[in-house]
Amino acid sequence: MVTAEILEERCATETHLIEARTLILQWGGEKGDTVTLAKARRDVDNEVVEAQDKHLTSRAYRKLVETVFEQCERSAQILSRELSRRISMNPQERRLVRFAP
């Protein structure tokens, strides 16, 4: 799970760097050039779109791994509680449970 989280963070950082670099390179500096227009040009740049897709894929993978990890944790907790319950029973209670209908 940690590996998936690290990969997601790395992709997010890379995406932000590519977005910033693209915004700087595409900034015209002309009088009529607005920030909104420059950001729009940045958002449709192929390199930015690819980086965003990579980030979304790594985020989806992290969420998938996290779901499996949490399910395993819950199963381990249930197993631990059941073992603790059975171990705390008296030996006579354990025999009675075996022969009960």
Q: What is the DSSP letter of 45?
A: -
- Strand (E) or helix (H) holding 1: none
Q: Is the pLDDT of residue 100 over 90?
A: no
Q: Is the pLDDT of residue 47 over 90?
A: yes
Question: How confident is the model at residue 68, as a pLDDT?
Answer: 94
Residues 15-32: what's their mean pLDDT?
A: 82
pLDDT band (50, 70, 90) for residue 46: very high
Decide which of 39 and 96 is more confident. Answer: 39
Decide which of 29 and 78 is more confident. Answer: 78
Question: How confident is the model at residue 1, as a pLDDT?
Answer: 87
pLDDT band (50, 70, 90) for residue 36: confident
Residue 68 near residue 7, CB atoms below 8 Å: no
Residue 8 near residue 59, CB atoms below 8 Å: yes
Q: Hey, where are the domains in the chain?
A: 2-99
pLDDT band (50, 70, 90) for residue 31: low
